[in-house]
Amino acid sequence: MTGDDEREKMALQTMGTALGKNSGAQKDSGAERDEGAQRDGGNDRVQAVDQRADVGGEKRGEKRGEKRRERGFGTRCVHAGEGHNPYGAHATPIYQTSSFSFDSSEEAEALFSGRKSGYVYVRAPPGTPTHSAFTEKLVSLEGGEAGISFSSGMAAEAAVILSHLQQGDHLLSTDVIYGGTFGLFSAVLPRYGIQVSYADTSDLEAVRSGLMENTRMVFLETPANPTMSISDIGEISSMAREAGAVTVVDNTFASPCFQRPLELGADAVVESCTKYIGGHSDLLGGAVVGSASLIRGVRRMAVSFGGTMGTFEAWLALRGLKTLHLRMERHASNALALARFLESRPEVREVRYPGLPSHPQHHLARRQMSGFGGMLSFDLSGGREAARKLMNAVELSTLAVSLGSVDTLIEHPASMTHASIPAEVRERIGISPGMVRISAGIEDPEDLIQDLEQGLERI
């Protein structure tokens, strides 16, 4: 056999292993991952991934008995979940398939029964090796045990809630939440007998008062969209645990780069991958990360209701995570520069950014976040008309919903992202007609400030 023939044979054997044939499980450098292997939980197989972002029972390049420090966040952004590819592919391939074949009927039976781990059908997590690579990387960054990707942040949110709550249960939510979340909580959950109430979760006493005997979940969005209010994740998670409830945190505004709720005591974290994780406004996706036992329940919802992240979207999200740490630094520095500029302007009544000392929860943000993020909002003294003129006058900022893109986005919450929330509720929680929200991009800050300046002068 020639050298080329031998290499081709070895590549084919590697591909068979990666797709779950022969052993039916993913292998790392010839050794089954001790923490990163797909774990069997009866019919609920969950892919729990190695938080260390290393392969095999022994870390690469580490001598026996020698302990190495945990790899840094930026290193894991680049390397976690990578390198398990057939043919020696440097970049994780896009496995554009809907199903996987089996070597025998016995193997198929073992896989479907849960006795063996492997890839079966894309709707059933872990989906494809592309999904696995993305999920493993994200779980490593969040500090969790397991995770599942979804077709959108709302799909992820609905799955984690419906997997844990049932008729007669109560959910206590942050009062300032994304408009889509408000729609789920106000129009959908009550139809299934799930009670929802709201509290100002920046006030611990309001949280304590809002907990009921049947509270089974506390849902936090921090920083909150769009008021940027901050909730104490650690304290609230402790309160919820004492009351017999789990805590779920929407971490989209901060991303795992600047805030890791699981490390602060939360039970699950939800990310809209459409935003900072993807980072380029070209994908729709979501994810839930938590303990292996919690994710088993979420997996049942994912299989039953669908909401599967597309394979190409999983690949885009995987690619986006590789530069998350770099992008977030620039998003945050630009947001702080814009916030400081806006505070100096007479047209602006109030600026809301956690990195400003004037923010009411600035000290809490400093304690539980490693950076303040790229989102800010501000109220214009001229109200709705001033907001309209400003958004029409800016040239660099794109008038669009969503956030976390490399380019700066500007929008009007009261008439766009939070238009579905009744006006009286918006007023009560601080979403005024003159509020403008900005997602700071990664452009040169001087250009963004100049653009805002000329826009403000025209109102």
Instruction: Report the catalytic residues.
Output: 115, 178, 250, 275
φ, ψ dihedrals at 256, nearest 5°: -65, -15
CA–CA gap between residue 166 and residue 301 (Å, rounded): 13
Residue 304: Cβ within 10 Å count: 12
Q: Six-digit token pair at 431? A: 């979403």
Closest to 135 (Cα-Cα) out of 273, 274, 336: 273
- Looking at residue 283, what DSSP letter applies? -
Q: Six-digit token pair at 441? A: 């991009």
Closest to 154 (Cα-Cα) out of 257, 284, 311, 279: 284
CA–CA gap between residue 193 and residue 183 (Å, rounded): 15
Phi-psi label, residue 197: left if phi above 0, alpha if psi -120 to 50, beta otherwise: beta
φ, ψ dihedrals at 129, nearest 5°: -60, -25
CA–CA gap between residue 191 and residue 188 (Å, rounded): 6
CB contact burial 331-347 (16+ within 10 A = b; e otherwise): bbbbbbebbebbeebeb
Burial class (CB in 10 A: 0-12, 13-18, 19+), 32: middle
Is 81 within 8 Å of 132 (Cβ atoms)? yes
CA–CA gap between residue 244 and residue 217 (Å, rounded): 8
CA–CA gap between residue 21 and residue 31 (Å, rounded): 15
CB contact burial 49-66 (16+ within 10 A = b; e otherwise): bbbbbbbbeebeeeeeee
